[in-house]
Amino acid sequence: MDLGSIGGYVVESVLGTGAAGTVYLAHDSGRRVALKVSASGAPPTLVHPNIVPVYAHGTAQDGKHWLAMQYVADGDADRELRAGRMSPDRAAHIIADIARALDFAHQHGVVHGDVKPSNFLLAENDRALLADFGSRPFAAAGMVLTSAAYASPEMLRGHEVDGHADVYSLGCSLFRLLTGKPPFFDAESKDEVVHAHLYREPPQVTRFAPWLPSAMDDVIAAAMAKDPDARYPSAGALARAADAALPIKD
């Protein structure tokens, strides 16, 4: 089946599709890329070892925007979780890598807005890369950018958000990596998920992963505090707290 070409890249297959757009596997004369096509504009220029590199971007004939990114064949953290339980040490390692990417972005005035395990790409050399940055400065009021399962209260309320919203979503992601379930997974509808993020206390991770130390409950509670100013001051601070909460290996 001929899927045509976009921006000079020959499309091979569909890797995934969602509300944010469609991602294709494509190639030019030199390499394979992940080609994302969406309604949003060009991404910010962020170059960091834990951020998926963007090679090129442009506008297609239909007016949609495309960007060519590094193709990571090894999958993502969400896929790994669906294949089986993740060890706490591996979860902490992935969170630490993603935190480095987020801290770098926040220092450059960019909020990610869609922090979740399916955007944690697992590259060679045991390195996690954060994918799916959009053209998002610290987000304006009224923008709900992330998946409801990982969205901060202020984002769901339509307030202006900054890096604290990404810290909340990273805390939700840590919960998922440790338990295999997102916070408030027991909610029966999207509206109930939203209500839980707005009003329910953060769940205790040890209730679903009793092998973890109780200190990890405190980490999740701080990361998912309703008040942004009560959360960890940075993604890196959250990652360090999570690592410190784990038992010391012999």
Mean pLDDT for all residues in the chain: 89
- Which residue, 18, 69, 30, 21, is CA-closest to 46? 69
Mean pLDDT of 17-24: 78
Closest CA to 178 of 95, 113, 111, 120: 95
Catalytic residue among 76, 114, 132, 166: 114
Output 154 or 142, whichever has higher pLDDT: 154
What percent of the chain shows pLDDT beyond 90?
Answer: 64
**pLDDT score of 19 more than 90:** no
- pLDDT confidence of residue 134: 59
Which domains, from first to last, does the chain contain? 5-70 (3.30.200.20), 77-245 (1.10.510.10)
Residue 1: predicted pLDDT? 43
Q: Give yes or no for residue 166 having a pLDDT over 60.
A: yes
Q: What is the pLDDT of residues 62-92, one digit of tens each?
A: 888 888 989 998 889 999 999 999 999 999 9
What per-residue confidence (pLDDT) applies to 138? 45
Percent of the chain with pLDDT over 70: 89
How does pLDDT run across 169-199, given as a tens digit for each residue?
Answer: 999 999 999 999 999 999 989 999 999 999 9
Instruction: Check pLDDT > 70 for residue 236.
Output: yes
Q: Is-catalytic flag, 166?
A: no
What would the pLDDT profile of 99-141 be if each residue is shown by its tens digit? 999 999 999 999 999 999 999 999 988 899 999 875 444 444 4
Quote the Cα angle for 79-213-217, to 5°.
75
Q: What is the mean pLDDT of residues 207-214?
A: 96
The pLDDT confidence band at residue 203, using thresholds 50, 70 and 90, is very high
Q: Any idea which of 119-123, 135-139, 216-220, 232-236 has the lowest mean pLDDT?
A: 135-139
CA–CA dist 53, 161 (Å, integer): 25
CA 74 to CA 234: how far, in whole Å? 28
Q: Three-state SS for 188? A: coil
Whether 248 shows a pLDDT value over 90: the answer reads: no
Give mean pLDDT, residues 137-161.
74
